[in-house]
Copies of this chain bind each other. A is one copy, B any other.
């Protein structure tokens, strides 16, 4: 049985930024309230509450700072064209959160607990959901270890937090194609590690390559597998798809790749459209050869933040391989239109992907 969520409303609402795509950027503004809930060994999750957005007070010895026990999720609330608000496949985020928690030896949430908290919080801060096309309210649930003690073992205390951020496009480029850098040196994850969990650890080691990508004029890193440095894994914060000679390919889930919610939805759409889509190991060589042979038709990343992000080209060592003349591909465009159409309630959701708040 879930405990009722206690509510403490702010007496001091913030001035909202102009809720336009250009102004918002990504993850720069935060709404008036946040959701908190504590976990204590023996007692379980307790004291769910919505309170004014404020700094967390954490003992400096809190385990999260030292041993990285931290998982998160990323989802969005969309303003529909009829003025309502809806979530996109929130159940899958809830399932993934519990898988991430398990990998990190952290306690799972009860079924429905995430969704209930998200709905309640978004409802309270519904005025923060922007209306302009391309905007949405990004929802960031996360769990951190708060026991104040040293020693490498799971914490006995955790804090579950949800914050909300009105966002525009993830990439400044919008739906314009982005270039990506195939990383030769650093790796993101390896089987037996934490790659399939959404945990802070996977991003920490990725920053150096991200900085390198930026310096090379690329938006994101294309990760190769840690074992052979040959197979494509994913892009910075997206899964990746290639359309080669009419077939669509995406790397199979080997244990070191995040199973994206958007990836799943894209595969369902393609299936529905009778576009053959195959999840299997894909080597970088294979993609480069297809590019050379002229059969690489398009490539795109998928993720909650950017939805569909066309890839304009791949930088690999001292080569640059443009894709589709650096134009948005037909399939990328159609997927983007369909996904965002369903998310904004413009296209009827025959898949049952959306949940009204």
Contact = CB atoms under 8 A, between A and B. Distances in A.
Contacts of A56: 57-60
A264 interface: no
A-side interface mostly: loop
A155 to B, nearest CB: 9
A205 B194 contact: yes
A65 B60 CA distance: 13
Contacts of A58: 55-56, 58
A64 interface: yes
A185 interface: yes
B68 A60 contact: no
A357 interface: no
A152 B74 CA distance: 13
Q: Which range contains the number of A residues in contact with the other chain?
A: 35 or more
A278 to B, nearest CB: 27
Q: Report which residue of A140, A200, A210 has the largest number of chain B beta carbons within 10 angstroms of its beta carbon.
A: A200
Q: Report copies per complex.
A: 2
Contact of A142 (B66, B161, B236): B66
Contacts of A186: 192-193
Nearest to A197: B205
A204 B208 contact: no
A343 B27 CA distance: 48
B65 A207 contact: no
A106 to B, nearest CB: 9
B226 A152 contact: no
A165 B57 CA distance: 20
A353 interface: no
